[in-house]
Structure 1
Amino acid sequence: MRHLILCTVMWLLGVMAAVAQSVPQVIPALQQWKPAKGKLVLPESGKVIVSSDEEEALKESAEILVQDLKDMFGWDYRVVTGKKEKGAVYLTLGKPDKTLGDEGYRMNIRNEVTIEAPTSKGVFWGTRTLLQMIHNQPEGLMKGQATDFPLYPNRGFMIDVARKFFTMDYLRDYVKILSFYKLNELQVHLNDNGFVEFFGNDWNKTYAAFRLESERYPGLTAKDGSYTKAEFRDFQKMAASYGVNVIPEIDVPAHSLAFTHYNPRLAADNKAYGMDHLDLYKQEVYDFVDSLFDEYLSGEDPVFVGPEVHIGTDEYNQKESEQFRHFTNHYLDFVSKYGKTPRLWGSLNVMKGETPVDLKGKVVSAWNYDWMDVQTCLDAGAKVVNLCDGLLYLVPAAHYYYDFLNYQWLYENWMPEMMRADDPKMTVRHPNFLGAMLAVWNDRVGNGISEQDVHYRTFPGLQVVCEKMWKGDNAGQVPFEQFMALCAATPEAPGVNLLAKVDKQTALVGAEKEVVLSGMEVVTTEVDEIGYPYAVEFELCPDSVPNIDAILFKGPHSEFVSNWQNTGKFAFRRDGYEFVFHAYRLPVGTWTKVRIEGDVKGTSLFVNGQLQERLEGRVGEIYNEKRNRKDRFWYQETLIFPLKQLGDTKMGFKGKVKNLVCIPL
């Protein structure tokens, strides 16, 4: 009987896999596919065609597609105007279509590829699908017609850049990633602070940052990483061209330590609330926050470009509910006067009071079931985006919420309206329910986490939630294991490799070749960096008088150093952190065989085949006065290994290197 059941299960899985393979495999999955006979092999040199009367609307999408074909496949395409041709990609606008809505499209693959949609955004989403199809069907595209559209209009990601700085290059890469998976919102949380207990229980020493240039308040902007007005404006415009709406967030009146550090008079007079609380009764606070928002919302070319701005309003002390509601009303009205739709964190279930707060037409980020759940938001007339903390919050290396999301549960059970695992699935969608966001918070300031470590955690989650928000429930057609295999095989985005994937073992300096470095020169390799899990092996012979703090390897995000502080020790630097292997000192004037292994948990140093040290597991402990307990702090000593260059023109390694090999594990 067991054998019969097992055979039946295996047969059913085989049938489902066969059905899935008769449909082009992309993420998110197509809503509808009508197959036709044959395959289309696109040429490596060709055309993306738009009609002359649609050139203004579609040229930008066509140009992005041409660049993406170059970045992903090395293909040489050009944008031309005219009619469809055999072997070309043709982009065109069609009539309004209730089935397709504002973001849907149809793709017809015959002797050419035609992508047609009522809007230019729909056409652009079709080009994202085409890129994935080409990647996943290297033998040629299945002929047929796709009809594709999202179930939910708002599909996004929120990133806390305040407690951990992310470079503008990273944010631009993330726009491309979100766009490649048809996620259309990026909320950027611009100000916040660490927890006072991790800074000696002293608010004046507690880390806080506001990441945007301010000319009205010189000195307010964080000095360890920020964005100029010009680059943040340009970033939002770039994102819009990729179909992504950037939602900037200035979080007030709590989480506001960056502002009270700048001007301590802005802090609440009631010290029990904490210095990160603005005083809700002082006119000076309203004048400051008004002026700050106005700096980015006013003028002919405002810094905040998109249609929405987030005003924060979460986790203020509950004793001030009435005044908090007054404050919330003020900034809902204030932002609206600039023609922007305000967003706010859902807090009004906890912050109860007599002061009415009109949420009609506003967008509420429903982040916690108790503070304000989805249904309460809808009943209040608000539009709602779900950021359920219990299911969609990532807080790296904090040991609460998720370090990695529960991908299988989300794929097989979650739908965007759900805030708790026991919420029933909605059979009829509310017109004011917009969608959901995955959120990453960097609560543990200074814990050593890297940009790429954060990406390693968020990217698989984005692949899962985009599937649920665009396609919906598809686990019955594509089992979880098959979906995850597709996720692993699908690129992050054209020209983006933040995971630093390397396909195979690669010799970067051959066994018969010695690279001689003088300490003031660079030798480049074919691999920029290698991601988890990996091994990098090399042999080196430092000069008898080696350079101090000498850069041995350098990449886009990190550097690996020899003779750290003239001690002979190896070290690496990235994201403003420095990590040292203290257990070993490299001898000079002789050859030594070194192997570095790295994974998402830590980094290991081997010398001549013997493990010398593993950087992992360092834990700090502090006393939390407020809660009368000890709290822990877990350090991340990880490295995506840099390989783009050996040496450096200013601080380079002096000696010889050979047998450099990178090995994906």
Structure 2
Amino acid sequence: MKHLILFGIMWLCGLMTVVAQNVPQVIPALQQWKPAKGKMVLPESGKVIISSDEEGALKQSAEILVQDLKEMFGWNYRVVIGKQEKGAVFLTLSKPDKTLGDEGYRMDVRNGVTIEAPTAKGVFWGTRTLLQMIHNQPEGLMRGQAIDFPLYPNRGFMIDVARKFFTMDYLRDYVKILSFYKLNELQVHLNDNGFVEFFGNDWDKTYAAFRLESERYPGLTAKDGSYTKAEFRDFQKMAATYGVNVIPEIDVPAHSLAFTHYNPRLAADNKEYGMDHLDLYKQEVYDFVDSLFDEYLSGEDPVFVGPEVHIGTDEYNKKESEQFRHFTNHYLNFVSKYGKTPRLWGSLKVMTGETPVDLTGKVVSAWNYNWMDVNTCLKAGAKVVNLCDWLLYLVPSVNYYHDFLDYQWLYESWMPEMMKKDDPKVEKRHPNFLGAMLAVWNDRVGNGISQQDVHVRTFPALQVVCEKMWKGENAEHVSYAQFKALCQSTPEAPGVNLLAKVPQRTILTDIGKEVTLSGTDVVTTSVDEIGYLYAVEFEICPDSIPNIDAILFKGPHSEFITNWQNTGKFAFRRDGYEFVFHAYRLPVEKWTKIRIEGDIKGTSLFVDGQLLERLEGRIGEVFNVKHQRKDRIWYQETLIFPLKQLGDTQMGFNGKVKNLICTPR
């Protein structure tokens, strides 16, 4: 009997593999595929063709496709105005189609590739599929026809840039990542603050940041990282060309310490609430917040470009429910006056009262089952996006919510309507249920987490949730093991490698050849940086009087230095943090073999084959006065190793290096 069961399992797995092999493997999976015989090989030099009457609508998508073909495959394509040709990619608009909706498309792979859709966005999503198909079918595209469309219209990601700054380059890369996986929303949480217990239980010392330039309130903008109005405006316009709607969020009236630091009179008079609470009864508060929103919403070319703006409204003290409802309704109406659809955090299930709050046509972020669940939002007439905290919140390096999501459970069991594992699903295809968002919160200010460490957590989660929001249930056709393998082999996006993947062991300097650095010169390598898991090996011989804090290796996101503070110690810097290997001092005028190993938990230093120090496991502990308990912060001493250049023109290493090798493990 056991043999029969085993045979049945093997047969089922084999059948699933056959099914998978008969359909082009992309993420998210195609809704429908009708195969035809044979394969079609696109030339490495070719055309992306659009018709003259559709040039205005499709030229930008065609140009991005040409750039991406070059970036991913080195192919030389050009945009041509004309008619469909054999061996070319043809983009075209079709008549409205109820099956395809606003984002669906058809793709025909015969003697060329034709992508047609009722909208330009649908055509663009088809180009994302084509890029993945080319990558995953290097020997030629399977001939056939795809009909593809999303099950949910809103598929997104929220990033907390307030408590950890993310560069504009990072955000632009993330737009490309979201777009490559057909996720169409990016919510940018622009202001927030740390937890007071980690700053001596003193609100005046607690970290807070507002990340956007303000001309009306000079000094409000964070000094350790921010976006100018111009670059944030351009970023949103760039995102729109990739099919991504950027939703800026100014979070009020809680989480508002950045504003009360700027003007302490804005803080609630009731000190029980904490200085991060705006005072809901003061006209000065409304004048300030009105003016701040107006700064970004007014004018012919407003800073907030897209159709939606998030007004926050979560986790205010429950004693002020009535006035909180008044505040919420005021800003729903205020933002609406500018022609924008307001979004807000779901709180009104807890913040009950007589003051009416009209949610009709508004979009509620249903973040917590108790504060306001999906069904309650729908009954209130709102449109709903699910950001269920227990299932979709990533909070790096803490002991609550998720450091990493449960990818297999999400793939096999989760659907976007669910807010908790034991919660029955709400009505499927409810017209006001829009979809879901993954969210990353950087609660532990100063814990050493890097931008790329956040990405290590969010990227695989995005791959899973995009599958469930576009395709839906697919585990019976593609097992989780198969899906995971596809995820790991699919690029992040054209031209994006935040994971810093290096495919194989790479020798970066000629074996045995010494590289001499004078302290002001640079030698470049073929690898920018290497991500987890990795080993970097080199031999080093500093000059007799080594430069202090000398850059030995430099990459896009980090630096590795020698002779830290004239102690002979190695150190590395990234994201505004500095980490030091204290257990070893490098001798001068002597060759030493060094090996650095890195993973998602920490960084190890080996000298002449012996492990001398591991940076991992440092924990801070503080006393939380409000809750009368001890709280912890777990520090991240990780490094995606920089390799783009040896040395630096200003603060470089002086000495010799040889036998530099990087190896993915």
TM-score range (shorter-chain normalised) is: over 0.9
Once the 2 structures are TM-superposed, how far is the Cα of residue 426 of structure 1 from its aligned partner?
4.6
Residue 633 of structure 2 corresponds to: 633
For 2:607 and 2:124, the matched residues in 1 are separated by 51
Structure 1 residues 129-181: Cα deviation after superposition (integer angstroms, max 9, x where no partner): 00000000000000000000000000000000000000000000000000000
Once the 2 structures are TM-superposed, how far is the Cα of residue 428 of structure 1 from its aligned partner?
3.3
Structure 1 residues 204-227: Cα deviation after superposition (integer angstroms, max 9, x where no partner): 000000000000000000000000
Structure 1 residues 291-315: Cα deviation after superposition (integer angstroms, max 9, x where no partner): 0000000000000000000000000
Residue 608 of structure 1 corresponds to: 608
Residue 401 of structure 1 corresponds to: 401
Residue 580 of structure 1 corresponds to: 580
Once the 2 structures are TM-superposed, how far is the Cα of residue 425 of structure 1 from its aligned partner?
3.5
For 2:317 and 2:234, the matched residues in 1 are separated by 37
Residue 30 of structure 1 corresponds to: 30
Local SS of the residue matching 1:465: helix
Residue 567 of structure 2 corresponds to: 567
Local SS of the residue matching 2:513: strand
CA separation of 1:355 and 1:433: change in aligned 2, threshold 3 A? same
Residue 309 of structure 1 corresponds to: 309
Residue 649 of structure 1 corresponds to: 649
Residue 528 of structure 1 corresponds to: 528
Structure 1 residues 306-328: Cα deviation after superposition (integer angstroms, max 9, x where no partner): 00000000000000000000000
Residue 415 of structure 1 corresponds to: 415
For 2:657 and 2:179, the matched residues in 1 are separated by 41
Residue 546 of structure 1 corresponds to: 546
Once the 2 structures are TM-superposed, how far is the Cα of residue 80 of structure 1 from its aligned partner?
0.5
Once the 2 structures are TM-superposed, how far is the Cα of residue 427 of structure 1 from its aligned partner?
5.9
Local SS of the residue matching 2:371: coil
Structure 1 residues 225-270: Cα deviation after superposition (integer angstroms, max 9, x where no partner): 0000000000000000000000000000000000000000000000
Residue 106 of structure 1 corresponds to: 106
AA in 2 matched with 1:195 = F
For 1:629 and 1:120, the matched residues in 2 are separated by 55
Residue 467 of structure 1 corresponds to: 467
Structure 1 residues 354-407: Cα deviation after superposition (integer angstroms, max 9, x where no partner): 111100000000000000000000000000000000000000001110000000
Is it true that 1:476 corresponds to 2:496 in the alignment?
no
AA in 2 matched with 1:123 = V
Once the 2 structures are TM-superposed, how far is the Cα of residue 513 of structure 1 from its aligned partner?
1.1
Local SS of the residue matching 1:512: coil
AA in 2 matched with 1:537 = E
AA in 2 matched with 1:87 = G
Say if 2:162 and 2:192, in contact at 8 Å, map to a contact too.
yes
AA in 2 matched with 1:521 = D
Is it true that 1:166 corresponds to 2:166 in the alignment?
yes
Residue 658 of structure 2 corresponds to: 658
Mapping 1:54-203, distance limit 5 Å: 54-203=54-203
* Corresponding pairs, count: 665
Q: Structure 1-normalised TM-score?
A: 1.00
Is it true that 1:537 corresponds to 2:537 in the alignment?
yes
Structure 1 residues 561-590: Cα deviation after superposition (integer angstroms, max 9, x where no partner): 000000000000000000000000000000
Once the 2 structures are TM-superposed, how far is the Cα of residue 512 of structure 1 from its aligned partner?
2.5
Residue 246 of structure 1 corresponds to: 246
Where do 4+ consecutive residues of structure 1 move more than 3 Å?
A: 425-428
For 1:574 and 1:436, the matched residues in 2 are separated by 32
AA in 1 matched with 2:468 = K
For 2:633 and 2:532, the matched residues in 1 are separated by 23
AA in 2 matched with 1:395 = V
Local SS of the residue matching 2:30: coil
Residue 385 of structure 2 corresponds to: 385
For 1:93 and 1:434, the matched residues in 2 are separated by 25
AA in 2 matched with 1:85 = E
For 1:423 and 1:13, the matched residues in 2 are separated by 30
Once the 2 structures are TM-superposed, how far is the Cα of residue 511 of structure 1 from its aligned partner?
1.4
Q: Structure 2-normalised TM-score?
A: 1.00
Say if 2:417 and 2:428, in contact at 8 Å, map to a contact too.
no
Runs of 5+ unmatched residues, structure 1: none
Structure 1 residues 35-59: Cα deviation after superposition (integer angstroms, max 9, x where no partner): 0001010011000000011000000
AA in 2 matched with 1:379 = K
Say if 2:34 and 2:144, in contact at 8 Å, map to a contact too.
yes
Local SS of the residue matching 1:174: helix
Local SS of the residue matching 2:578: strand
For 2:335 and 2:36, the matched residues in 1 are separated by 52
Structure 1 residues 73-120: Cα deviation after superposition (integer angstroms, max 9, x where no partner): 010000000011111000000000000000000000000000000000
AA in 2 matched with 1:548 = I
AA in 2 matched with 1:42 = L
AA in 1 matched with 2:394 = L
AA in 2 matched with 1:510 = D
For 1:144 and 1:426, the matched residues in 2 are separated by 36
Residue identity over aligned pairs, in percent, reads 86
AA in 2 matched with 1:578 = E
AA in 1 matched with 2:329 = N
Structure 1 residues 2-34: Cα deviation after superposition (integer angstroms, max 9, x where no partner): 122112101110111111110000000000000
For 2:426 and 2:368, the matched residues in 1 are separated by 18
Local SS of the residue matching 2:514: strand
Runs of 5+ unmatched residues, structure 2: none
AA in 2 matched with 1:648 = D
